[in-house]
Amino acid sequence: MNYPETAMTIQETSIDENLNNYAAENSPEYLKVSLAAAMTLGMVPGLFYRNACLHCVNVLLTYNDGCRANCAYCGLQKSREGNYNDKSFIRVDWPAFKTENIIKRTLEKKDVIHRICISMITHEKAKEDTFAILRNFSKNLHCPTSILLTPTILKHSDIDKFKEYGADMVTVALDCATPELFDEYRGTGVKGPHKWDKYNDTLDYSVSVFGKNKVGCHLVVGLGETEKEMIFRIQDVRNKGARSHLFSFYQEKGSKLDSHPQCPAGQFRRVQVARHIIDYDMSHAEDMEFDNSGKVIDFGIPFKDVAKIVETGTAFRTTGCPGKSEISACNRPFGDSSPRNIRSFPFELNASDIARVRKELLEYE
């Protein structure tokens, strides 16, 4: 299992056997739960580093024969060796539990849990099972549901159904900033099924169904794009009426990109600030300035306003679907870095965190 550093402290290795029959069962009766969510729900014992309290339960469809796609950076890619149920995803393990127990535990944590998210995978059963799970959640849970869509297996009418069955928000994981990188890492370059145009069409159509600011787009920083390419992608997503949720690329052991380096901290910090400015309509990518290698040298707003953004620290926190406030309920603790070198902060930054990100923002390698 890939769990390189102590993001969360596991006090015991055992998982409650009454709740868990993992490895052998499939969705919709079973779902994988992110380790952080499983800890929050009391299904796995452990403590969060710096009390990185979670407000979103992230669940993932599970099938013994796994995801059919082959995305080069993903821990669930079909060509990665090992049993699907033992594979990590965005750095952490995802133990499987009965869906009915996840609902029960989520209701017991009503005060803390402000959202639940169903992540689809590329599998012939995934669409119908997501409909069934969504209807179950809409009927039985207190909180809104997000769906992380797999456009490759969806038609426009399916997006309509997600809305009809009670989804509050949907997200498309474009992940790559450019069509070339997308094709190399998710499409023909890895003999994968995904297509750039299909993903963008799903993003457009989703905004027409769910409305402005009710659709997200996952983007992974550091797959080989320049800062300028990523920032213009974020602007394009914003022009569609959606907002971007950033991840710093992190090597998933055993994936095709397990030796690809993580991007420099300065690159991620500048993209975080630019995303904040674009997604909250303070400026546009067209008004920003870049050096010859595509690095940001001017954010298109007065320096004092950039300084204010840095001081508040919000731009550096995990971005995702909101909870009761605009701050992301989905804080994915340490999903893109170790807790010793945090990229997306799952909690409010303290003075020493602010000093660190300010320094990193000015690092040009």
Structure tokens at 21: 């029959």
Among 321, 349, 357, 361, binds ligand SF4 (CB under 6 A): 321
Q: Which CB atom, from 219 or from 310, has the smaller least distance to ligand SF4?
A: 219
Structure tokens at 276: 């904040």
Q: Respond yes or no on whether the N-terminal peptide bond of residue 28 is cis (omega within 30° of 0).
A: yes
> What number of chain residues touch ligand SF4 (CB under 6 A)?
21
The whole-angstrom separation of Cα 86 and Cα 93 is 8
19 contacts ligand SF4 (rule: CB under 6 A)? no
Least separation, in Å, of the C-beta of 199 and ligand SF4?
A: 11
69 contacts ligand SF4 (rule: CB under 6 A)? yes
Q: How many CB atoms lie within 10 A of CB 140?
A: 13
Among 56, 134, 271, 278, binds ligand SF4 (CB under 6 A): 56
Q: x/- binding map, residues 148-167, to ligand SF4, per CB under 6 A?
A: x-x-----------------
74 contacts ligand SF4 (rule: CB under 6 A)? yes
The whole-angstrom separation of Cα 127 and Cα 23 is 21
Among 27, 85, 88, 146, binds ligand SF4 (CB under 6 A): 146
Buried b (16+ CB within 10 A) or exposed e, 291-301: eeeebbeebbb
The whole-angstrom separation of Cα 98 and Cα 86 is 17
Q: Which CB atom, from 8 or from 69, has the smaller least distance to ligand SF4?
A: 69
The whole-angstrom separation of Cα 102 and Cα 259 is 35
Q: Which CB atom, from 52 or from 71, has the smaller least distance to ligand SF4?
A: 71
3-state helix, strand, coil in the chain (%, to 5): 35, 15, 50
The whole-angstrom separation of Cα 241 and Cα 213 is 6
Q: Which stretch binds ligand SF4 (CB under 6 A): 25-33, 143-151, 198-206, 307-315?
A: 143-151
The whole-angstrom separation of Cα 288 and Cα 269 is 15
Least separation, in Å, of the C-beta of 331 and ligand SF4?
A: 9
Least separation, in Å, of the C-beta of 12 and ligand SF4?
A: 27
Q: Which of helix, strand or coil describes residue 161?
A: helix
Q: x/- binding map, residues 82-121, to ligand SF4, per CB under 6 A?
A: -----------------------------------x---x
144 contacts ligand SF4 (rule: CB under 6 A)? no
31 contacts ligand SF4 (rule: CB under 6 A)? no
Tokens 């070198």 identify what position?
A: 341
How far from chain centre, in Å, is Cα 49?
20
Q: Which CB atom, from 231 or from 330, has the smaller least distance to ligand SF4?
A: 330
Binding site for ligand SF4 (CB under 6 A): 56, 58, 67, 69, 71, 74, 76-77, 117, 121-122, 146, 148, 150, 171, 216, 218, 245, 320-321, 330
